[in-house]
Structure 1
Amino acid sequence: MYIDVVPNRSSPPAILLREAWREGKKIRKRTLANLSHWPRHKVDALRAVLKGHAVVAGESFEIVRSLPHGHVAACLGTLRRLDLDSILARKRSRRRDLCVAMIVGRLIEPRSKLALVRSLAEQTLSSSLGEQLGVADADENELYAAMDWLLGRQERIEAALAKRHLSDGTLVLYDVTSTYFEGRHCSLARIGHSRDKRFDRPQIVFGLLTDGEGCPVATEVFDGNTGDPSTLPAQIRKLRERFGLERVVLVGDRGMITSARIEENLKQSPGLDWITALRGPAIKKLVDSGALDVSLFDEKDLAEIHSPDYPGERLIVCRNPLLAEERRRKREDLLLATEAELDKVVAATRRAKNRLKGKDRIALRIGRVLGRFKMAKHFRLDIGDDSFRYERDHQRIADEAALDGFYVVRTSVKTEHLSS
């Protein structure tokens, strides 16, 4: 059986229920019912039934809402495949589920704990996360309590991660950052060097240890006025004493693994090698001593050199021409911006009314400009009681430009273990 629509010239088409069969080479058909008086949806439903489709009456259910689920399923599935929930705690518990919810929530939509609670609650939920973990009724106090519970398990969790991702002779990456506080009730918060440029706010410093691929293994929080290099000894003890590693290659930037830390900490720990980089003044010293010939890098971008200042160590010099051009452009932009502001100071010392006078007052104005753009080393200044002049120090600018794009990697790792 099937539904046939037969056109009429001046009338609506006839809608007929028909059946067909074959007699020899001919197709026979007959009309079983005239459905022209049926409403369109009823005809469509019968046509679907005749084709073998399941039909559900539209009024039999109502879509109240649909919840985004794909990203939740992806994050939860990956977390469980990595066995991260079992690393937090072997047995499932309310607190473990809350911690998992915070991890997944941080991945799919970073936000505050209060906002996360709202996204889990039945009345304001924004995904299936709360339902999947059974934590839709959680409040922010429960989340904070779960974090306290997690803190008590930190060493065990880090040991499990280290066992999975670190082994003797492996690369370990370490770096620190900071974040500032608006409140006054954090015992570690101090005024310090702010990477957020919020020198008026207390902050904390925290360090992160990862494996060679950047997978996090351990973290530690320090007072907000802690210098980067002074956090390194704690990490060495952690690698040796807690993780039981005899041979490690520690990788850190030149502000972290300084010469002082190498002499006082790393060289005093047998089996501990390092990879870091030299600062600008140290690179210039290599050039001045003849150990580094920058003209070689007109033809090549990588070379290994040696210097008596770094006995038993390797120095790998590399030059990035794209970075060199970017640094040249940025320096020129900063010089022009600095000159524009210094010209305002010059004009202030020459105006007819309310003239800027006095060395101290003029120097304060100049200091604000130079502190903003960090270009003081590239200018010669002449400050008088009622005058001010300046000019670029072209020799210093040229000396700095000659080293644009250069990096010197400093390492104690032997060539047979790590080629350049």
Structure 2
Amino acid sequence: MKGADKIALRVGKVLNKYKINKYYNLDITDSGFSYERKQELISEEIALDGVYILRTSVDKTLMDGFEVVKAYKSLSSVEEAFRCYKSIDLKVRPIYHYKGDRVKAHIFLCMLAYYVEWHLKQKLASLLFEDEEIDDNYQDVIKASRSDSAVAKDRKKRTEDNLPVHSFRTLLEDLGTICLNTVECTLESGKYVFDRITRPTELQQKALDLLSISSICTQ
């Protein structure tokens, strides 16, 4: 095979396949080609081999290395928040408003609702498929692994108190069965009407205790 174009095309296919083009200087002629390694660049790459590097344009006086890693590892929480905000729980769209101030109010209320939901999940973590032993060490960039207790909850679908583990949505549905009933009874002394809250199940009572909410019967 001769011709600089044909040789360059063949060599280019190999280099592009293995993505090593930047490591070589090529000299292609009509009858062949020669190459030379970019040893300085290769040495720099070897020095960083296996090292995960985060670069940011933020000035170090505003965000040090620890805060950069913490912000990077928090991205998954931000993505989860957007998923919840846009489609899973809150469903911010469609927005049936046309005036700017009303649209802003709608968005604000949705953000406020997510803020409340986030705090509820923190309080109810022991009843949810949440990892209660999250490692706050942000010095490591490697992906955090789930704790043994979280893996056990996933496998058994039961908490340490032998209660069923829920998603946040199914737990809210379960709590939604607590209701206020109006009771009417007739005795010899007369007719009485009063309100009474249904007695919570063991799971519901546990959730109420975690939220520091008292289910008090009213009369």
Greater relative contact order (CA < 8 Å, ≥ 6 in sequence): 2
Q: By percentage of residues, which structure has more strand?
A: 1
Larger Rg: 1
Q: Same fold (TM over 0.5)?
A: no
TM-score (normalised: structure 1): 0.17
Q: By percentage of residues, which structure has more helix?
A: 2
